[in-house]
Amino acid sequence: MDTVGILVCYNGNWVKKDNIESYEGGEAKGLVSRNVTFSELVERIYKIMDAEPTKYSVTLKYSVPMLWPLK
């Protein structure tokens, strides 16, 4: 199975500082098949968090490192 590293971070908080958001704290799990569909990824996230899809809604956010300063 060809894998890709996708870290799923949970039980932490998104923090906004100097107009930049980052994720702090919590736990992380990762590595999924390169051919995973979005639906399969969301299903895995529910399993990782041991959350019931009928009770909770998953919101996916991501963080990209900035290589230059914002003006």
Given a contact cutoff of 8 angstroms between Cβ atoms, the answer to whether 60 and 48 are in contact is: no
Percent of the chain with pLDDT over 90: 10
Q: Which residue has the higher pLDDT, 39 or 60?
A: 39
Contacts of 44 (CB under 8 A, 6+ apart): 8, 32, 36
Q: Is the pLDDT of residue 71 over 80?
A: no
Give the mean model confidence (pLDDT) for residues 38-43: 88
Given a contact cutoff of 8 angstroms between Cβ atoms, the answer to whether 6 and 30 are in contact is: yes
Q: What are the extents of the domains in the chain?
A: 3-49
pLDDT, averaged across the chain: 82
Sign of CA dihedral 49, 51, 53, 55: negative
Q: What is the pLDDT of residue 55?
A: 94
